[in-house]
Amino acid sequence: MKKTKMSADSGRAGTLSFVHAADLHLDSPFTGISGIDPELGERLAKATFQAYEAIIELCMEEEVDFLLIAGDIYDSADKSLYAQVRFIEGLRKLETAGIQVFICHGNHDPLDGWSASLTWPENVHIMRGDRAEVVKFKKEGETAAVIVGMSYPTRHIMKNLVKNFPKKEGNWPFTIGLLHCSVGSNPEYASYAPCTLQDLRELNYDYWALGHIHTPSIVCKEAPVVIYPGNPQGRHPGENGARGCFVVDVSSGGDISTRFIETDSVRWHIREISIQGLEKEGELIESLQSQLDDIRENSGGNSVICSFVLKGRGPLHHILRQEGFIEDLLRLLREGETWSRQFIWVERIEDDTLFPVEREILLKREDFVGALVKIVEGLKTDEKSWNEFREVLSPLFDSRNGRKHIARIDDEEMNYLLQRAENILLDALLTEEDNEN
Amino acid sequence: MKINAIHIDGFGKFSSLSMEDLPSGLVVFTGANEAGKSTLFTFIRRMFFGIPNTRFCNLYPPLEGGKHGGRLAVIDSAGDRWVIERNAGRKEDVKVVLPDGNTGGRTELLKLLGHADRNVFENIYAFGLEELQSFETLNDQSINSKLYSAGTGVGVSISGLMNSISSIENNLYRPRGSKPLINELFREIGKTEVKIAELEGAQKKYDSLHFELEQKTLEIDQLKEKSQNLREKLSHIQNLLSVWKDWKILCESKTALESLPGLESFPEKGEEKLTRLQEIIEEIRNTISRLQQDLDKNAVKERSISPDESLLKQKDAVLELGSGIEKYRSEEKLLPSLEMNLRQEKAGLSELLLELGPAWDEKALERFDRSIPAKESVIQMRRSVDEIEDEIKETRNELQQILNSIERVLQENDLFEESLLVHRDQVIELGNGIEKYQADKDYLLSGTQELQDRKTELRETLSGLGEGWNENALALFEHSSPSKETIFRKRREMDEAEKTIERYCDRLELALGEIKEVCEEIEALKDKIEVYSTLPRPEELKQGLEAVSYLRVTYPLLREKEGELKSLEKEEMLFAALRPPKTEYEEGLPLWPAGMVLLAGCIGLVYESINGTLLSGLVIFLLLFATSAVYFLKATNKSSVHPAGEERLEDAESRKQKVQDSKEKLFREINALKASMKARAKKCGFEDISDPSVREQKADEMQRAMVELKTAWELRQREEKLQKKLDKLNASYIELKDTIRAQEAKQEEVLQEWKGWLISSGLSPELSPEHVLEILSAIRACLEKQKNINELEKQVKFKEATVKEYEEKAYSILEACRKPISGIALESEIAKLREDVSFAFSQAERVRKLEVESEGLNRKKEELEARLLEEKKTRDALAEKWTGWLGTYGLDPSLSVESVLEIFSVIRTCFDRQRAIRKLEEQIASSRKSIEAYEAKVAGVLQVCGRPLSGLSFDTQVEKLRSDLEKASDEARNLQQLKTKSEELNIELEAARDKYKEDAEELAVLLDSGSAETEEEFYENARFWAQRTGLENRKREAEQQIQRVSGSDDEYRLFVEELQASDPSGLKEENRRLEECLKSLEQDISDTIDRRGAIRNQIEQLERGSEGSLTRVMQESLLEELHEKSREWASLVLAREILAKAVKVYEKERQPAVIVEAQAFFSKITKGRYTRIYSPLNSTEIYVEDRNGRQKSIQELSRGTAEQLYLSLRFGFIREFGRHSESLPIVFDDVLVNFDPERCKSTCEAIKDLASDNQVFYFTCHPETVQMLVESFPETRAVDLDAV
């Protein structure tokens, strides 16, 4: 667990301190990674729990007053009892340490998604789902903070829940809003309980502990401080970079200082490598190895899942296109990796290298290759042929299993696949001489 | 590309066949069957593409020998020359020599061939009738795709690519497959899904388990309550049962109590008390009687004792005496021994004094100084006397040693002898000279011998030189180098002359051989010329040839004319039979015969000019030109007569007339032609106009004769040349002979000169130069030897002198030394002498050393003697001093130091003795005094006690006194004791009497308290009382027991009532029943608890079940893989689709290009009869359209036309292929056989078109075809394979 400061103000002279986490997604699987062997699978299956344990340890180490969890503790769609049990286990630890926990549920773990048989420890307060609930946190007999929160009663909440929240009252001390919602618009995430920053500001709270957006971000630095801590463990290639939670210290004067603490045990990396100027396979392997060394050095002891994207034009393009070459390369890079505490798993090598010949030149050719490229080019405007081409894919994509398990191909991807198809043909048809030209 | 040259090392019937400089256009290979057309055809194919892979192909082994294989030299479109070489029939064994001179292999060959393969080549470029007739070969998929790929400019087979894509695609996914990757993934995902679904049920199960758990807990609580109730009930019954015994006792006790007599009270332990009292009273009585008896006994004892009072009064004095008795006894015992000691000591002292001397008594002893300094001075004296004695002894020893040494030196000195030493130097020199003397002596011997040998040798050499040669002659002889030089020159001259002569002789011989050869050649030529002597004259032959060529030209004309005549006749007959015939010749005579004649003339002119007879050619030409001109004029005249505006009948008539006219005219012409031809034929030796074959035969004959004539002329020319050469050779022969003669004369001259020189040199004139040179070298050797001998002689003499000198010297010295000359060798004599001298020398050295030594020794002796004297003096002084010292002490002066020391020790002992005597005397005195005191004391005491001195020793009396005293004191003590005891007994007796009184009173009270008069009554009452208390105790115990079980008061009452109401067997029954109930209930509870435990376990298991996590991760991984693979599959499918579409487009756009080309060819070949070829899309069918727009399928075409169509299609392909790729040579194998002449001709034109871009090889066995092709292409190269 590494500590990174995101705010300058330090010193624990504050009267209040708490940890703000969200989107634990306990026990939800890693996606976008293929060819996992059981040993790696085991490691990945543990990762979200390890991150959660790191949060619990952090709370105890920092001796904070309470822990806030802003929804999506686990994916109720997974119906993982294990996740719920392990979650409560962690809460029990906090109970023994005398640390309170305030939880609001989000779209992935609405109130109705939890097992009825689980009993929450005494130190846990779960926000109601029917209205915003105001809870007072008492420290040494006095109300030290007011926490206002609301859970998702069911999964799909599309209305602005902030409207249900009461304004901060005059006699309230430090006030925290706890909610799983989308502030503003973020195209990457489904818009649950949408609201605006203005909505939040109007309530005059001191701190908004939000959840839902997985990338850690401080939405607003000035009062009210609005923070998405992100998920404590990235679970797919898109969730790369450090992941963790926030420790918030509030001084007696009401000054807020926040620290971002990394909690992830497995980190995703995507590296782009240009093949330009590389002449031999050995040079590419060397370059990949050096990237791996770099990642290993800079991962701070974390395990890493990384993908390489090969880009650019160069003589290696032809070699990369050879059947089985990339698989061999992968095997080579994975060779000797053991599942010790720190591992580096090269998840994939994506060949995005460009054809050595400019496509414009090919389009001008009056031969078979020209005809071929023109057909692909023509498809972009010819809707009928476009649909015909889509039709040839139906044996797989419209099969029962295909419909069930394979993502549909949208127009953009179709374009990409056509380009790929064209590359396959050009690779076979163009001679080396052509390539050199 | 074109084939420039073909070299066959060995292939089928060909071996070492070479065809160079093949033109780029058409090459016709002609030959009869089995001439090797197919072989050559196959050779070209194989050179390009190797041996086909089929097992049954003809390998064409080299039948005529040679290495199997060969080479093709080709020139590519850029004009570069390549050589393709294959050997030994191995498929891959191809060698390509590149234009730059490097060698390459298959790859380079493929590049050169523009990626055309065997299939394309064999079907499109190189084909025979068979391939031509099968259209299917054209439609071969690979050819098609080759053509398309030719368009792409790449060497990839589209169909191959398509197949490979399909196969990868199928490996990824097949809709109903199970093995492909995606299908497998689906299966796998399905399996995991099921597993996940199972795992997902966990939460539901968990909740239901929890519910069940609660239920069970509730159930357990209820059961427990029930069991509690039962247990209470059971314990109540068990309580009842447990107190039943007590209850019974209680009841019994109650009744028993009621039956006992009433007794209000009874002293506790009354019986016991009574008994004890009785016993005590008895005891007291006994005590009283015993005490009285004791009192009586004491009184008797007191009266019997009376102690000695006076003795007791002297008790202290007696005791004192007793304590002194031991001292007294020991002193008494010691006294005599002390007196004895004293006596001994005194005797000892007087003895010691006697020992010291008569003058010594105790007074002298007192006087003597025996202090330590006195003793020390004595000791010192002794030490100095000892030292001086030692020194004297030492000096004496040394002196003795010196004297001995001097004695020894004197003895040695007597042995020395010194006469030899005088000649020591000479003897040593002689000794050193011994070796040199010996060497000189040896040398003298050998030198004399050698000198003798040399001298004889020289003499022998000189005698070998010849007579008259002796040492004097030798000195006279001139052997300077100039004379030697002369000899060399002469010899060289002679050799040269001889060699020159030899050389000329060789040349002469060569010339003779050449002459002979030329003669022979001339002879042979003459024979050859003889053969040609019977040839006809050349003029005749020339005429004949002219005639033949005329005949050759006019014969077809004649035939034509005859044909025309026949047709005219036929027409005439037609006219005659039907109606006025209509002449075909509306335009009059045809003009072409005139052209033909003119052409024939031209050919004749060309032919003759080739043969070198331009004149006759011109004649023929003019003649034929005239004929054609005449004919032309006639023809034009005829055509100008136009029968315009006549009646139809008239028209027919006139036409008939015309036909007749023309027939006549033609007839005439024919006759004229025949006449002229006959005339020519006669010239050729024919009777009539001969057949063309006969004519040609004749022509050939004449041609041959012509050639032979030319050969004969050439031979003659050569003969003349040879004759000329012969003449030249003869001339040179004669010249050579003259030269030889001149050389011989010159040699003779040189010889004479030599002889002259020899004589002048005084040598025999018969000697050759070599000989003379030998003599010269021998003389030189002799001179050398002479010089050596002289040198030797000188040396020997010198040595002789040296030896003699040495010997003389030696004898003189020996004599001087007085050594006898014993007759042994001089050398050993001298050596001995030398040894003696060296011994004497060393002896002298030693004597000198001894002399020095004896001198030293004498000096030392004197010194020692002086020292001895001095020491003796010192000793005497010391003796004197000692005597003095003795005198002062009054001792005998003769006493030695040791005796004095002894006296010192004796004196000390005397003193010790004196002291001991004094001490003893004192002791004896004191002892006597104390004995007397003691005896007086004893006597006093005895007197006081009134006892007389019995005469016994004092100590015995004291002993007696002491024992008497002890006895008296014992008696007194016993009396005292008895008195005290009596008093005590009296007191005791009094006390016992009081006690007895008390106890009697107590007994009376006791009996009263037991409501008894007597003791017996008392005992009775006591028994009743005991019974009563026992019963009451039991009753109380039972009550307490019951109370303890039941509780107090009310509960007890109820309990007792219950006890009264129940009976034990009923209770026991109830108890058993309840116990059973409880047991089963408890079983139920434990079962339920177990069940609850199981549920808890299940819950715990569910809580710990992390299997789902891994499964989900694996599922996601599978889905991701599926995603990736589905995209991969999609790309492949799309690629295949794009490719298919591209092929379609290409077919659509490219096929017409082939067909347009083919169409042009087809139209040309069919002379425009068919104008279009077309092939509908998606069909391999080909249709043709004639100029009237009628469509025909291939089946509807005649065989010839169909073949022309196929040919056209191939031409089209070739054109199209050549546009994108290297154009290959085209090879046709007699494809025109089924074509009519006209189409044949037009096909030739088509081939001509094709030949502008591609090299064309045409194989045929038909001479007409050859002719036709040759006619079409004047530049054609025809190769006759028969002739190869």
Tell me the ipTM for this assembly.
0.84
Residue B585 has pLDDT above 90, yes or no: no
In B125-180, alpha helices (H):
129-133, 136-139, 141-152, 158-172
Kindly list the residues from chain B whose CB atom is less than 8 angstroms away from the CB atom of residue A406: 1122-1123, 1126
Q: What angle do CA A266, A269, A271 make, to 5 degrees?
A: 160
Residue B364 has pLDDT above 60, yes or no: yes
List, for residues B888-897, the tens digit of each pLDDT value: 776 777 777 7
**Which residue ranges of chain A lie beneath pLDDT 50?**
2-14, 433, 435-437
User: Reduced to 3 states, what is the DSSP secondary structure of residue B66?
Assistant: coil
Q: Which residue in the block uniquely carries the two structure tokens 């009532």?
A: B1057
CB contact under 8 A, B209 and A117: yes
- Which residues 261-320 of chain B have a CB within 8 Å of chain A? none
CB contact under 8 A, A389 and B1137: yes
Q: What chain A residue is nearest to B182 in terms of C-alpha separation?
A: A396
pLDDT at B643: 47
CB contact under 8 A, B1112 and A376: no
CB contact under 8 A, A372 and B158: no
Q: Which residue of A45, A368, A431 is in closest CB contact with B148? A: A368
Q: What chain A residue is nearest to B1101 in terms of C-alpha separation?
A: A82
Min Cα distance B90 → chain A (Å) is: 29
B1170-1174 and B1183-1186 as β-strands: parallel, antiparallel, unpaired? antiparallel
> d(Cα B894, Cα B882) in Å, to the nearest integer?
10
Kindly list the residues from chain A whose CB atom is less than 8 angstroms away from the CB atom of residue B1145: 371, 375
B795 touches A: beta carbon within 8 Å:
no
| pLDDT over 70, % of chain B | 88
A405 touches B: beta carbon within 8 Å:
yes
B1116 touches A: beta carbon within 8 Å:
yes
Contacting residues for A427 by C-beta, under 8 A, at least 6 apart: A318, A321
CB contact under 8 A, B1130 and A424: no
Q: Which residue of B173, B1103, B1110 is in closest CB contact with A81? A: B1103
- Element (H or E) spanning A405, and its range? helix A400-405
B1105 touches A: beta carbon within 8 Å:
yes
- From the candidates A34, A266, A412, which should be mutated to test the interface with B, based on the most B CB atoms within 10 A? A34
- Nearest Cα residue to A24 out of A229, A237, A304: A229
Identify which has the larger pLDDT, A413 or B422.
Answer: A413
How many Cβ contacts (< 8 angstroms) between chains A and B? 184
pLDDT at B89: 53
Kindly list the residues from chain B whose CB atom is less than 8 angstroms away from the CB atom of residue A42: 1110
- Which residues 1122-1181 of chain B have a CB within 8 Å of chain A? 1122-1124, 1126-1127, 1129-1135, 1137-1139, 1141-1142, 1145-1146, 1149
CB contact under 8 A, B1127 and A430: no
pLDDT at B589: 60
CB contact under 8 A, B1145 and A44: no
> d(Cα B1094, Cα B1096) in Å, to the nearest integer?
5
> d(Cα B1218, Cα B71) in Å, to the nearest integer?
24
pLDDT (mean) for B933-960: 78
B1128, amino acid identity = E
Q: Is the Cα dihedral B87, B90, B91, B95 positive or negative?
A: negative
- Which residues 256-275 of chain A have a CB within 8 Å of chain B? none
Highest mean pLDDT among A282-286, B113-117, B953-957: A282-286
> d(Cα A406, Cα B1124) in Å, to the nearest integer?
10
pLDDT at B582: 46
Q: Which residue of A31, A425, A431 is in closest CB contact with B1116? A: A31
Kindly list the residues from chain A whose CB atom is less than 8 angstroms away from the CB atom of residue B164: 428
Q: What chain B residue is nearest to A34 in terms of C-alpha separation?
A: B1117
Contacting residues for B488 by C-beta, under 8 A, at least 6 apart: B769
pLDDT at B578: 60
Min Cα distance A240 → chain B (Å) is: 18
pLDDT (mean) for B381-390: 82
A339 touches B: beta carbon within 8 Å:
no
- Element (H or E) spanning A70, and its range? strand A66-70
Q: Which residue in the block uniquely carries the two structure tokens 């394309």?
A: B120
List, for residues B718-752, the tens digit of each pLDDT value: 888 888 888 888 888 888 888 888 888 888 888 88
pLDDT (mean) for B963-975: 83
> d(Cα B566, Cα B550) in Å, to the nearest integer?
24
Q: Which residue of A396, A425, A430 is in closest CB contact with B1126? A: A396
Residue B182 has pLDDT above 50, yes or no: yes
Q: What does the mean pLDDT of chain B come to?
A: 80
List, for residues B1056-1110, the tens digit of each pLDDT value: 888 888 888 888 888 888 899 989 999 999 999 999 999 999 888 888 877 888 8
- Which residues 79-138 of chain A have a CB within 8 Å of chain B? 79-82, 84-85, 115-117
- Which residues 280-319 of chain A have a CB within 8 Å of chain B? none
Residue B825 has pLDDT above 60, yes or no: yes
- Which residues 1063-1102 of chain B have a CB within 8 Å of chain A? 1102
Structure tokens at B144: 């098609």
List, for residues B1228-1269, the tens digit of each pLDDT value: 888 888 888 888 888 888 888 888 888 888 888 888 888 888
List, for residues B308-331, the tens digit of each pLDDT value: 777 777 788 888 888 888 888 888
Min Cα distance B227 → chain A (Å) is: 30
pLDDT (mean) for B997-1016: 81
| B470: confidence class by pLDDT, cuts 50, 70, 90 | low
pLDDT at A436: 43
> d(Cα A135, Cα A125) in Å, to the nearest integer?
9
| B1224: confidence class by pLDDT, cuts 50, 70, 90 | confident
- Nearest Cα residue to B665 out of B760, B803, B564: B564
pLDDT at A229: 92
A406 touches B: beta carbon within 8 Å:
yes
Q: What share of chain A is helix, strand, coil (3-state, %, to 5)?
A: 35, 25, 40
> d(Cα A234, Cα B688) in Å, to the nearest integer?
118
> d(Cα B799, Cα B191) in Å, to the nearest integer?
134
CB contact under 8 A, B1134 and A417: yes
CB contact under 8 A, B165 and A78: no
CB contact under 8 A, B1106 and A434: no
pLDDT at B225: 92
pLDDT at B636: 67
A393 touches B: beta carbon within 8 Å:
yes
Q: Which residue of B156, B189, B1139 is in closest CB contact with A405? A: B189
Q: Which residue of B152, B1109, B1113 is in closest CB contact with A36? A: B1113
| B581: confidence class by pLDDT, cuts 50, 70, 90 | very low
pLDDT at B821: 62
Min Cα distance A422 → chain B (Å) is: 6
pLDDT at B584: 44
Q: Which residue of B175, B1116, B1132 is in closest CB contact with A424? A: B1132
Structure tokens at A76: 């109720």
When mean pLDDT is compared across B292-296, B446-450, B573-577, B1127-1131, the lowest value belongs to: B573-577
Min Cα distance A399 → chain B (Å) is: 8
Kindly list the residues from chain A whose CB atom is less than 8 angstroms away from the CB atom of residue B1103: 81-82, 85
| B292: confidence class by pLDDT, cuts 50, 70, 90 | confident
> d(Cα B344, Cα A21) in Å, to the nearest integer?
132
pLDDT at B504: 85
- Which residues 369-388 of chain A have a CB within 8 Å of chain B? 369, 371-372, 375-376
CB contact under 8 A, A417 and B1131: yes
List, for residues B545-561, the tens digit of each pLDDT value: 787 777 777 777 888 88
> d(Cα B1147, Cα B1143) in Å, to the nearest integer?
6
Structure tokens at B277: 């009292």
Q: What chain B residue is nearest to A378 in terms of C-alpha separation?
A: B1138
A363 touches B: beta carbon within 8 Å:
no
Question: 3-class secondary structure for B35-57?
Answer: CCHHHHHHHHHHHHHCCCCCCCC
B177 touches A: beta carbon within 8 Å:
no
